[in-house]
Amino acid sequence: MAHHGSFLRAFFRNAGSVGAVAPSSEALANLMVDWLDWDEINSVLEFGPGTGVFTEAIAKRISHETKLIAIERDEELAEITRNRCPDVTVRQACVSDAASICREEGIESVDAILCGLPWAAFPEELQNTLLDAMFEVLPRGGKFATFAYWQGLALPAGQRFRRILREHFSEVKQSPTAWKNLPPAFVYRCVR
């Protein structure tokens, strides 16, 4: 709740890229990160860390050799994540720049991408642009996790995104529901 006001301001500044009025819960963060074998992950990107809830959960699980880069478009949220997770590289940019950011950071490809972007709120063209950017750095066998709100599945964009995941990933699984999240959500756990 400490960053709820900042998150709400970011929502009103750009509701198209901030898809909720409250930060994600610890329960949802655990669903995002606990399915991965962190001993096998050398580099990870986080798309849209918001206030750093997922970033903090990732940082607790990685080894000190693992490279973690969080990409946040909103300046205020990027600063909150930097303060919350001072050992994490937080870049204020659009995730469509993921490949150039990785090159600047000396990373050819990443083992996993964890994503807090509101895919169901995006038009199809933006969904495709961001997926293309992701596939520039996520090789075959790479892991991808993103969450969805249950009510978003009723939207055409939410249904389209689920279909897109099934078309582009060899494996797409759904986590249990984080009922205490506001609103309730689940995680798509994907393998390219």
* Residue 107 region by backbone torsions, left for phi larger than 0, else alpha for psi between -120 and 50, else beta: beta
CB neighbours (10 Å) of residue 9? 13
Where the chain has pLDDT below 70, the residues are 1-22
Given this model, what pLDDT does residue 22 score? 61
CB 23 within 8 A of CB 51: yes
12 Cβ contact list (under 8 Å, min separation 6): none
Given this model, what pLDDT does residue 114 score? 98
Q: In angstroms, what is the C-alpha Rg of the chain?
A: 15
39 Cβ contact list (under 8 Å, min separation 6): 63
Q: What are the extents of the domains in the chain?
A: 29-191
Amino acid letter, residue 189:
R
CB neighbours (10 Å) of residue 182? 15
Tell if the pTM clears 0.95, that is, is over it: no
27 Cβ contact list (under 8 Å, min separation 6): 178, 179, 180, 181
CB neighbours (10 Å) of residue 20? 21
Given this model, what pLDDT does residue 152 score? 83
> Two tokens at 47?
């798309």
> What CATH number labels 29-191?
3.40.50.150
Q: What angle do CA 73, 94, 117 make, to 5 degrees?
A: 70
